[in-house]
Amino acid sequence: MGKRTSGNIFLTGFSYTGKTQVSQLVAKRLGWKLVDTDDEIVRLAGKPIPEIFAQDGEEHFRKLERQALANVCRRKSTVVATGGGIIMAPENRQMMRGSGAIICLEAQPETIHRRLLIDSANSKDKVVRPLLASPDPLARIISLKQSRQNAYVDSDWTVHTDHLTEEEVATEVIRGWNYICKGAASKGAASSAPTEETAAVVTTATESYPIFVGWGILDTLGQRMKDAGLSGSAYVISEDHVFPLYGERAEASLRAAGFTVASFVVPFGEKSKSIEIAKKIYDFLVERRAERGHAIVALGGGVIGDLAGFVAATFLRGMPLVQVPTSLMAMVDSSIGGKTAINHPQGKNLIGAFHQPRLVLSDVEALSTLPERELISGWAEVIKHGLIRDAEFFEFLEKNQKELTRLDRKATTEAIKKSAAIKAAVVSEDEKESGIRTLLNYGHTIAHGLETASGYGQLLHGEAVAIGIMGAARIAEQVGLLGRDAVERQNNLFRGFGLPVVSPDVDPQAVLKAIELDKKVQKKSVRWVLLEEIGRAIVRADVPPEVVRGVVGNYDHR
């Protein structure tokens, strides 16, 4: 496919395949700029395209077209709607491919003809469309389309639009861009992002959205939300340990982008993930007459992301959500994928909904103000991503442990980008946890049991996950899946980051009872995520109960 120096999207295709409308949707979803090459040509020439052809001829127009394309190709994070003939020149295709992905919108001639007739009938413009000027418009479409087909076939990705809505076409365009410009990420590897701060793009059947990761990027929040098509009011939901640090900056960024801002701050900690707190936020939104198009901004750690996300999913049957995670755990895990929830006394996250955000913005600099224990806790999820999907990333964590524990700017940003890309790739493949997404629960079965049995708050989530992962590793070793060396590598890396690997003084029977209530139980069998090797996880529902009881009951003695 050639080297991609940027991650731009170039939409091409015959007339009435939807380039204009789809380019707008794609740019809105990704929070990118939108450029039409015809508009650029008009800007360069200082006159409309018909006048260029009439006064200067087609050869001059094609020169302007190449110049406009060259200018556009120097941009980043841009969706480009191209003119109908731009793809015909091989040098143009080479320029576009060097700057991103060429994605062709395709349709059958009969579909194009039907859309043309509908558009003409509904248009207030009485000028006869050029294609309709032919005695046989359908034959003319077939002839023209056939003459361009070899160039269309040379695109990197093709979306057949005949039976798709514009929203569905936009989803397929972004899916194609993910595959072409971030091909390794689509396989679960943590590839480098096509732009400096775009770690990944989540593309599901219902939504596509970017994940921005960078150092000191909180001040760009308002503009990125505006670029994503959001406007009007923004309601910042935060916690009392975070809002004094970052609330003012977030609000200022939002106001500078034209948003009306109001904020609601909840007490720090897992206890705020309750129906009582959610009701208070509902009351806050009702008092301010929040509308369905207004945005909820979750500014904080995983608790805030879950709580604000749940409110966004349920108030007015759904409001746009923007995740602004400030903890390591939230940056690499809970802010990505659309899981939202509040707790029930009988279990963690039992009341919830899937509600994808419009964008995720992670300012890595915020980690410098995290309490040490909470920061350490977050590394558990980062390590988990390497364990289940990417052995090379796990090795990166082993080799850069010292730099990461002291929050080296370059190493930490790279680790968060790679970890976020792994999570995004898994979520893109399986939005509702019906398949591969289950692998993200590695260690969580025991972890949630520990959290429930000990009472929320004794263990941080990452601490429970680290203990749970080591429990799952010992289960895998005992059933013959995982070698001793792999178990020890996990143990050593967790200890190196300062994470616990054995449980505190918690009643094993209470942990086992909580495991039975876990969301991953199906037909009374616990689905265990286990490793076959580092970088490759599987799901097993046939783990002998006595093995589980032995591992859980002996944590304190390891």
Banded model confidence at residue 10, pLDDT cuts 50, 70, 90:
very high
395 counts as catalytic: no
- Catalytic site residue 355? no
Question: Exposure string (b/e) for 480-499, b if CB count within 10 Å is 16 or more?
Answer: ebbeeebbebbbebbebbeb
What's the pLDDT band for 518 if we cut at 50, 70, 90? Answer: low
Residue 361 has pLDDT above 90, yes or no: yes
Can you tell me the distance from the alpha carbon of 198 to that of 210, in angstroms, rounded to the nearest whole number?
7
Tell me if residue 344 is catalytic: no
What is the model's pLDDT at position 558?
A: 42
454-460 contact pairs (CB < 8 A, 24+) = 454/504, 454/506, 456/270, 456/271, 456/343, 456/348, 457/269, 457/270, 457/271, 458/504, 459/504, 460/373, 460/374, 460/377
| Average pLDDT, rounded, for the chain | 88
Top-confidence residue, 137 or 519: 137
| Active-site option among 339, 358, 385, 520 | 339
Q: Select which of 423, 474, 520, 527 is catalytic.
A: 423
Our answer to whether residue 381 is catalytic in this structure is: yes
Distance from C-alpha of 169 to C-alpha of 444, rounded to nearest angstrom = 36
Per the annotation, the verdict on 423 as an active-site residue is yes
SS3 track for 420-465: HHHHHHHHHHCCCCCCHHHHHHCCHHHHHHHHHHHCCCCCCHHHHH
Residue 155 exposure: Cα atoms within 13 Å on the Cβ side: 25
CB 414 within 8 A of CB 407: no
pLDDT confidence of 348, banded at 50, 70, 90?
confident
437 is catalytic: yes
Residue 557 pLDDT grade (very low, low, confident, very high; cuts 50, 70, 90): very low
pLDDT of residue 24: 93
Cα(334)–Cα(340) distance, integer angstroms: 8
Full DSSP string of 206-255: S-EEEEEEETT-GGGHHHHHHHTT--SEEEEEEETTTHHHHHHHHHHHHH
Q: Which of 62-76, 150-164, 235-249, 448-462 has the lowest mean pLDDT?
A: 448-462
Q: What is the pTM of this model?
A: 0.72
pLDDT digits 0-9 by tens, 98-156 = 888 999 999 999 999 998 888 877 766 654 456 666 788 898 888 888 888 888 888 88
- Residue 248 appears among annotated catalytic residues: no
* CA distances in angstroms from 169 to 20, 161, 216, 397, 476, listed in the order given: 12, 6, 34, 38, 42
Structure tokens at 292: 């369905």
* Active-site residue, selected from the candidate residues 106, 374, 431, 433: 433
What is the pLDDT, as a whole number, of residue 188? Answer: 36
Residues 404-444 have pLDDT tens digits of 999 999 999 999 999 999 999 888 887 777 778 889 999 99
Which listed residue (317, 484, 523, 557) is catalytic? 317
Catalytic residue among 437, 474, 520, 527: 437
Of 14, 11, 13, 12, give the one whose Cα is nearest residue 140. 14
| Active-site residue identified among 19, 29, 384, 444 | 444
For 519-534, give the DSSP string.
Answer: TTEETTEE-EEEEEET
Q: Which of 40, 106, 374, 381 is catalytic?
A: 381
Token digits for 200?
């990944």
Q: Exactly one of 389, 461, 520, 527 is catalytic; which is it? A: 461
- Annotated active-site residue 461? The verdict is yes
Q: Tokens for 456? A: 């929320």
- Check: CB of residue 113 under 8 Å from CB of residue 134: no
| Per-residue confidence (pLDDT) for residue 520, from 0 to 100 | 52
Residue 126 annotated to the active site:
no
Catalytic residue among 19, 145, 448, 520: 448
Q: Which two tokens stand for residue 147?
A: 């003459």
Task: Answer for the pair 347, 514: CB distance below 8 angstroms, yes or no.
Answer: yes
- Respond yes or no: is residue 444 known to be catalytic: yes
Q: Which amino acid is at 229?
A: G
Is residue 203 pLDDT above 90, yes or no? no
Which range, 2-6, 205-209, 330-334, has the best average confidence (pLDDT)? 330-334
